[in-house]
Amino acid sequence: MRLMVSGGGTGGHIYPALALIDDLKAHDEHARVCYVGTQRGLESKIVPARGIQFETIKLQGFSRKMNWHGITTNVETIHLFLKGVRDARKIIKDFQPDVVVGTGGYVSSAVLYAASRMGIPTLIHEQNSVVGVTNKFLSRFVNKIAIAFADAKSQFPEQKVIFTGNPRAQQVAQMHSDFQWSSYELKDDVPTLLIFGGSQGALKINAVSVKAIPEFNKRPYQVVFVTGQKRFDDVQEQMKAAKITLAENVKVVPYISNMPEVLPKVAAIVGRAGATSLAEITALGIASILIPSPYVTNDHQTKNAMSLVNQGAAEIITEADLSADTLMTTVDQLMTDEMKRTKMAAAARKMGVPDAADQLLKVVTELAK
């Protein structure tokens, strides 16, 4: 098979695409893949490093501001889109894909639109419960639409939709882990809470977690607080200013490079409600306390989180309600009640799709035929 993939801007669009590519190559060692992104996006660093053919086109998103700057930006956006479609057509003609898959981000708009106009089978994958602008636009032109949240179905032309889950889930579910908490100088037989606001860290989660450390120090469970690489020094300064020290059961680290190996050993997690995170949490069956980012488009993280909360698979704290007291109360209720954690983990696992990459690949293969 010759597969073209386009998606970019954030890891939430890129990693599901890479999971699909990995699954394709596992099933077909002769498969050829071309990834189309932008030079500015995160994909320009991640994809070439994986040895995947990478092509770029220049696009930008629309401005939501209706002032003069916003209007001129949007005129330029339309111009770049039309040029991007022409550039995408050339890349498509050169590569000759059997099928083209879009995983979101404005770069995929030109690529999938061009492919659909050229009569090439097309598919988009929507990771979130609230459909993004790009995928909503493309839904009119593509052949199939794969979704990871059932809530997204009603926002698309129903006859095109198929539920596959997020392919990133399969990578995590199949990961064999020999990880031991002793590598962090913690105990392997004590329940461990992971606080993780994303690879960049989250300011409010970090600030509240720092204030909660004196209480965490007294608890019978363990806490690993991941600050994000860029915010580690700030957290250290906050702790120093407040004269906060760490007990043996609490660790503060900037980053965890082997997160897929660590997650199976986590009793519960506090974190954001991005699509990739929730795919991993549900695939593994981990109890969670979700703090949706209020800074994302259409507040989609809150809706992602509520999909789990409504099934008894997670607790939610809005960022507006987040404080050291609300965090400690919610964490204590979960970490000191093994039965509650077990029920929540089982509900999460029930929502998970551990073979999501295979399911998505099946749809892609059928389209290619």
The model's confidence at residue 72, banded by pLDDT at 50, 70 and 90, is confident
Mean pLDDT, all residues of the chain: 94
- SS3 annotation, 165-201: CCCHHHHHHCCCCCCCHHHHCCCCCCCEEEEECCCCC
- With 90 as the cut, is the pLDDT of residue 190 above it? yes
On whether 10 is known to bind a ligand per the annotation, the reply is: yes
User: How much is the pLDDT for 169?
Assistant: 94
User: How much is the pLDDT for 12?
Assistant: 86
The model's confidence at residue 71, banded by pLDDT at 50, 70 and 90, is low
Indicate the domain borders of the chain.
2-166+355-368, 174-351
The model scores a pTM over 0.85: yes
Residue scoring higher pLDDT (307 or 76): 307
Residue found under tokens 């890479």: 18
Reference 344, options 316, 298, 311; nearest CA is 311
| CATH code of the region 2-166+355-368 | 3.40.50.2000
On whether 199 is known to bind a ligand per the annotation, the reply is: yes
pLDDT digits (tens, 9 = 90+) for 108-163: 999 999 999 999 999 999 999 999 889 999 999 999 999 999 999 999 999 999 99
On whether 301 is known to bind a ligand per the annotation, the reply is: yes
Q: For the chain, what is the largest distance between any 2 Cα atoms, rounded to a whole number of angstroms? A: 65
On whether 229 is known to bind a ligand per the annotation, the reply is: no
Q: Does domain 174-351 have CATH number 3.40.50.2000?
A: yes
DSSP string, 197-248: --TT--HHHHHHHHHHHHHHTTSSSEEEEE--GGGHHHHHHHHHHTT----T
Reference 8, options 49, 74, 56, 50; nearest CA is 56
On whether 12 is known to bind a ligand per the annotation, the reply is: yes
Q: Under 8 Å CB-to-CB from 50, ≥6 apart: which residues?
A: 18, 21
The model's confidence at residue 68, banded by pLDDT at 50, 70 and 90, is low
- With 70 as the cut, is the pLDDT of residue 221 above it? yes
The model's confidence at residue 85, banded by pLDDT at 50, 70 and 90, is very high
The model's confidence at residue 62, banded by pLDDT at 50, 70 and 90, is low
Distances (CA, A) of 312 to 62, 342, 363: 37, 11, 30
Do the domains 174-351 and 2-166+355-368 match in fold? yes
Residue found under tokens 């009119």: 140
- With 70 as the cut, is the pLDDT of residue 308 above it? yes
For the segment 35-62, the average pLDDT, to the nearest whole number, is 90
Other CB atoms within a 10 A radius of the CB of residue 178 amount to: 6
